[in-house]
Amino acid sequence: MFERLRGTRDFLPNEMAARKKVFSSIKKTVEEFGFFETDTPAIELFELYSIKSGEEIIEELYAFEDKGGRMISLRPELTPSVVRVLVSRAKELSFPVKWYSIPRLWRYERPQSGRLREFYQLNIDIFGSDDPRADTEVISCAIKLLCDLGFDESDIEVRISDRRMLQEFLLNIGIEKYHDVLKIIDKREKVSQKDFKEMLLGLKISEPQIKEIDAFLNSKGNFLESIENLSSSHKEEGISQVIESLRRIAQDLNDRGFEKFITFDPSIVRGLDYYTGMVFEVHDRKREFRALFGGGRYDNLAELFGGEHIPAVGFGMGDAVLELMMRRKNIWPEEKVEIDLFIATIGNVEKEVSKILTSLRNSGYKVDFDIMNRNLSNQIKFANKLGAKSLLIVGERDLKEGNITLRDLKTGNEAKITLEEFVSSPSKYLTKVL
């Protein structure tokens, strides 16, 4: 007997049916926001990841040499592929483009709750617009798709910041080692206050500076209010522009009714080096799980990949933590399959059953029938396991008089009708499962 690889999953039809409902809800929301689906290969040149992905991701690559001697890799994230496509086909595109995809991704890391070696990730991105409304679209879409799945503001917190603000703030208090400090701030929630301080001291940041950093990082709260406060205390040109763009995002999120989901939180920086502006993270309010997902602005990536300057904003949401959170709240869909009709047979009625099957399927019904030569009671048991809504009993004797029996498997109600009547107007007797 063979086993599947650790950190990968099999989905039987009932499990798959539940997942399909979740994915189709997500796709529906995202398409209402005007995002279009794209698709890219699961294997890419290794260099695509070595150029920009963080060290952590490089270490976790499923990378190998193919039979042609090229170093290739299973994709650990989608963004490099999408930017590759964008750069190589920029001439035929009309900007802005709003793209989404739900790729399978692979990372060799220790499998644990909410973290798998093979997983799905929804990716949405807007390329070509540096307008704050692009940021709002992306954040709104994130919140809306969670709401459409059944979450509300008591479950979800969206923490928003802007990396440029942090950078300006650090410069203002005399710190220029922006990237090194950023990395430490990114770890802040995972380490003790003491360790955090020591790491900063290690970079020769002074005690008073650390106090200022702490105060700044703790200045979280209502998005629009926090921004108005910052706006009155920071009049410098560089930072005013950032504040103005955050103010528009905050105002727009309020106009769209998402105020209750949002916290302004300057400690959010997102690990990846490539973010350049607004960044956000989505958490469960109870903090039982790690960040559900996050995203932000990455305006420099297209250039890094050899293209023109193309501003970009987006996020990626893995399916594993999402499923955990949905199960915790009991909003993961019921795992069951369904069909419209199962045909049970008594005696030799093959020819008639073939005709009924063909006619109903041509009309779009999901129909199955007995191919195990079982007795009637076992056929009915099986019909129930298939989630059949109705049962048609076709018996040799009844058929001589042109009759069949139709049973509603939910109510148990049964009616004897003519085969002709049933086949000519099935919609009188059956409704379709979605």
Contacts of its own copies in 286-305 (CB under 8 A)? 305
Binding flag, residue 56, its own copies (CB under 8 A): no
* Piece of the chain touching its own copies by CB under 8 A; list 77-85, 151-159, 197-205, 223-231: 77-85
Give me the least distance between CB of 385 and its own copies, in Å please: 5
Q: Which lies closer to its own copies via its Cβ, residue 305 or residue 422?
A: 305
User: For residues 56 and 271, is the Cβ–Cβ distance under 8 A?
Assistant: yes
Binding flag, residue 385, its own copies (CB under 8 A): yes
User: At residue 340, what are phi and psi to the nearest 5 degrees?
Assistant: -80, -40
Do the annotations mark residue 125 as ligand-binding?
yes
Do the annotations mark residue 77 as ligand-binding?
yes
Q: Of the candidates 220, 219, 248, which has an alpha carbon nearest to the alpha carbon of residue 135?
A: 248
Binding flag, residue 3, its own copies (CB under 8 A): yes
Do the annotations mark residue 405 as ligand-binding?
no
Q: Which two tokens stand for residue 162?
A: 């802007």
Binding flag, residue 87, its own copies (CB under 8 A): yes
Partnered with residue 279 across adjacent β-strands are 161, 296
* H-helix segments, 220-311: 223-233, 237-255, 301-304
Q: Which lies closer to its own copies via its Cβ, residue 48 or residue 392?
A: 48
Alpha-carbon distance of 392 to 384, in angstroms, equals 12
Do the annotations mark residue 78 as ligand-binding?
yes
Determine the size of the site formed for its own copies (CB under 8 A).
98
Q: Which two tokens stand for residue 185?
A: 């701030």
Binding flag, residue 48, its own copies (CB under 8 A): yes
Q: Of the candidates 340, 331, 388, which has an alpha carbon nearest to the alpha carbon of residue 365?
A: 340
Residues 212 to 241: which contact its own copies by CB under 8 A? Answer: none
Binding flag, residue 88, its own copies (CB under 8 A): yes
Choice from 214, 259, 335, 368 touching its own copies (CB under 8 A): 368
Binding flag, residue 128, its own copies (CB under 8 A): yes
User: For residues 126 and 296, is the Cβ–Cβ distance under 8 A?
Assistant: no
Q: Of the candidates 63, 66, 251, 33, which has an alpha carbon nearest to the alpha carbon of residue 145?
A: 33
Alpha-carbon distance of 219 to 211, in angstroms, equals 12
Partnered with residue 414 across adjacent β-strands are 407
Cα–chain-centroid distance for residue 280?
Answer: 15
Q: Which two tokens stand for residue 323?
A: 């499923």
What is the DSSP secondary-structure string of 330-347?
T-SPP----EEEEEEEES
Alpha-carbon distance of 101 to 82, in angstroms, equals 9
Q: Which two tokens stand for residue 187?
A: 């770890």
Q: Which lies closer to its own copies via its Cβ, residue 66 or residue 237?
A: 66
Partnered with residue 342 across adjacent β-strands are 368, 391
Binding flag, residue 32, its own copies (CB under 8 A): yes
User: For residues 32 and 79, is the Cβ–Cβ distance under 8 A?
Assistant: no
Q: Of the candidates 84, 133, 70, which has an alpha carbon nearest to the alpha carbon of residue 301?
A: 84
Alpha-carbon distance of 91 to 87, in angstroms, equals 8
User: For residues 266 and 161, is the Cβ–Cβ distance under 8 A?
Assistant: yes
Give me the least distance between CB of 4 and its own copies, in Å please: 6
Binding flag, residue 33, its own copies (CB under 8 A): yes
Q: Which lies closer to its own copies via its Cβ, residue 48 or residue 149?
A: 48
Give me the least distance between CB of 259 and its own copies, in Å please: 13
Binding mask 326-365 for its own copies (x = CB under 8 A): -----------x-x----------xx--xx-xx--x--xx
Do the annotations mark residue 79 as ligand-binding?
yes
Binding flag, residue 434, its own copies (CB under 8 A): no
Choice from 67, 204, 235, 397 touching its own copies (CB under 8 A): 67
* Piece of the chain touching its own copies by CB under 8 A; list 8-16, 187-195, 217-225, 259-267: 8-16
Residues 129 to 148: which contact its own copies by CB under 8 A? Answer: 129, 131, 133-134, 136-137, 140, 144
Q: Which lies closer to its own copies via its Cβ, residue 108 or residue 429?
A: 108
Binding flag, residue 104, its own copies (CB under 8 A): yes
- Over its C-alpha atoms, the chain yields an Rg (Å, rounded) of 28
Give me the least distance between CB of 39 and its own copies, in Å please: 4
User: For residues 307 and 90, is the Cβ–Cβ distance under 8 A?
Assistant: yes
Binding flag, residue 65, its own copies (CB under 8 A): yes
Residues 240 to 259: which contact its own copies by CB under 8 A? Answer: 248, 251-252, 255-257
Pick out the residues of the known binding site for L-histidine. 77-79, 107, 121, 125, 270, 274-275
Pick out the residues of the known binding site. 77-79, 107, 121, 125, 270, 274-275
